[in-house]
Amino acid sequence: MQIIESLEEMREVCRKARRKGRSIGLVPTMGAFHEGHLSLMRESRKRDEVVIVSLFVNPIQFGPGEDYGTYPRDMEGDTAKASAIGVDCLFTPSADAIYPEGYCTCVLVEGLSDKLCGASRPGHFRGVTTIVSKLFHITMPSRAYFGQKDAQQAILIGHMIADLNWDIELVVLPTVREKDGLAMSSRNAYLNKQQRQEAAILFRSLCWAAEEIRGGERDAQRIRAEMRRMISSMKTARIDYVTIVDPGSLEEVSRVEGKVLLALAVWFQEARLIDNLMAEPEKG
């Protein structure tokens, strides 16, 4: 596996691959790899001739006071894991190379960026769509891989690809979970034992809600209230949001009529965890 830091070298590797007619898969990450990341890499390895994994902790998607400085970093472990999967290139640009002095351009998916996580993390998604757009320009992949774990991010990237006419296939893969259902996340490393145990309530509450919806419950307000009650019963949990939205517009629904996205963000001390599940009333 090649480890490439230079933007120009990364471009050149991709140019050569394209000239040879090879398909390129891009897996954008911030590192500290777990099975969620690895599932994206494996899928790209199956489908693409050249697999590129970018590893960049993107400063502009972190707000002031957020965990940019303490975000888990494990270059050695990440290199071993990516290499074992057969990734071709690990792209590890520096922040200075990505955002040189005088950098002033951003890509913003308007409206949708302000909802859910965007409401509590102003500027976050502008940072995400800007870096992903830059990575697309540098590598010009045939496919780009994202996790359903970050549902809003995947929806925004889908919009960006369509709106900016990128010729890129977006592949969104299911959330990989721990045995008790907790979605794998680099930020789970922040949890102490009690928080880790209590965090399993997130997926349990989502499953409960999905089951209610399947069974015919239409009152979104009632479901939300019960989810909030379940989560709040955990001593170390502090809710940021719990919501039921239309998966296209991300607008909160009051009645469940069709497919909905159940989404939540909950703090366990300094760890802000997110999770989501699609749900739908049973047909017939």
> Active-site residue numbers?
37
Q: Which residues contact residue 107 at a Cβ distance below 8 angstroms, ignoring those fewer than 6 apart?
A: 126, 129, 130, 133, 160, 164
Inter-residue contact 206 to 230 (CB < 8 Å):
no
Q: Pattern of binders to ligand AMP over 157-186, x per CB under 6 A?
A: ----------------x-xx------xxxx
CB of 145 to ligand AMP, least distance (A): 7
CB of 206 to ligand AMP, least distance (A): 14
CA nearest neighbour of 186 among 74, 43, 81, 59: 74
In the complex with ligand AMP, which residue's Cβ is closer, 36 or 118? Answer: 36
Q: Per CB under 6 A, does 62 bind ligand AMP?
A: no
Kind and range of the H or E run holding 41: helix 35-47
CB of 36 to ligand AMP, least distance (A): 2
Going by the DSSP 8-state scheme, the letter that residue 82 receives in this structure is H
Q: Per CB under 6 A, does 201 bind ligand AMP?
A: no
Site stretch for ligand AMP (CB under 6 A), options 67-75, 81-89, 144-152, 246-254: 144-152
In the complex with ligand AMP, which residue's Cβ is closer, 53 or 245? Answer: 53
Other CB atoms within a 10 A radius of the CB of residue 208 amount to 16
CB of 42 to ligand AMP, least distance (A): 11
Q: Pattern of binders to ligand AMP over 27-46, x per CB under 6 A?
A: --xx-----xx-xx------
CA nearest neighbour of 210 among 248, 162, 261, 251: 261
Number of alpha helices (DSSP H) and beta strands (DSSP E) in the chain = 10, 9
In the complex with ligand AMP, which residue's Cβ is closer, 131 or 220? Answer: 131
In the complex with ligand AMP, which residue's Cβ is closer, 94 or 221? Answer: 94
Question: If you write DSSP's letter for every residue of 139-162 in order, what string do you get?
Answer: H--SEEEEEGGGHHHHHHHHHHHH
Q: Per CB under 6 A, does 223 bind ligand AMP?
A: no
Contact set for ligand AMP, span 78-137 (CB under 6 A): none
In the complex with ligand AMP, which residue's Cβ is closer, 29 or 130? Answer: 29
Q: Per CB under 6 A, does 143 bind ligand AMP?
A: no
Question: If you write DSSP's letter for every residue of 178-230 in order, what string do you get?
Answer: -TTSPBP-GGGGG--HHHHHHTTHHHHHHHHHHHHHHTT--BHHHHHHHHHHH
CB of 131 to ligand AMP, least distance (A): 10
Beta-strand relationship, 260-268 and 271-279: antiparallel
Residues that bind ligand AMP (CB under 6 A): 29-30, 36-37, 39-40, 146-147, 149-150, 173, 175-176, 183-186
